[in-house]
Amino acid sequence: MNFDETDKKLLLFLQEDSKQTTKELSYKLGLSVTAVYERIKKLENSGVISKYVALLDKHKVSRDFIVLCHVKLTQHKKEYVLQFEREIMNLHEVTECFHVSGDYDYILKIGVKDMEDYRNFMLSKLTTLQHIASTHSSFMISEVKNTTSIVL
């Protein structure tokens, strides 16, 4: 899909704050309210805007102990891969999961309360999944950049 400069600005504004009214956006973009509404609908209908969400402050909800966990499966059989991916979807502590190339098969981003909470997660949830050969965990020291915004 091709985006003109107005679409790009509109998408940036919506990513910064999707609760802005079409009236507020029309003022920022120099367009009519109807024109902004139609552009937003076009972006939604085409799937460019897939959904609107509320971003939580992980410190205020006690999920600020962030772990990147590398997971290696015992084998790369299709059934093992699909089963792991199905099971990982049910672990609410896992906020992101990437199937990757290299020494490990997956990288998980996990948010928990503290080290004890992570230990409990590992013992009672992650290591109970079938076909995991090994894991390697790294713990966040500080967050340098965290954005959901995509600039076109």
Q: Taking a C-beta distance cutoff of 8 angstroms, is the pair 148, 55 a contact?
A: yes
**pLDDT, tens digit, for every residue of 87-102?**
999 999 999 999 999 9
Per-residue confidence at 1, pLDDT binned at 50, 70, 90? Answer: confident
- Please tell me the pTM assigned to this model: 0.90
The DSSP annotation for the chain comes to ----HHHHHHHHHHHH-TT--HHHHHHHHT--HHHHHHHHHHHHHTTSS--------TTTTT--EEEEEEEEES---HHHHHHHHHHHTT-TTEEEEEE-SSS-SEEEEEEESSHHHHHHHHHHTGGGSTTEEEEEEEE-S--S--------
Q: Domains, the chain, ranges and CATH? A: 5-46 (1.10.10), 58-139 (3.30.70.920)
pLDDT tens profile 114-150? 999 999 999 999 999 999 999 999 999 999 999 999 9
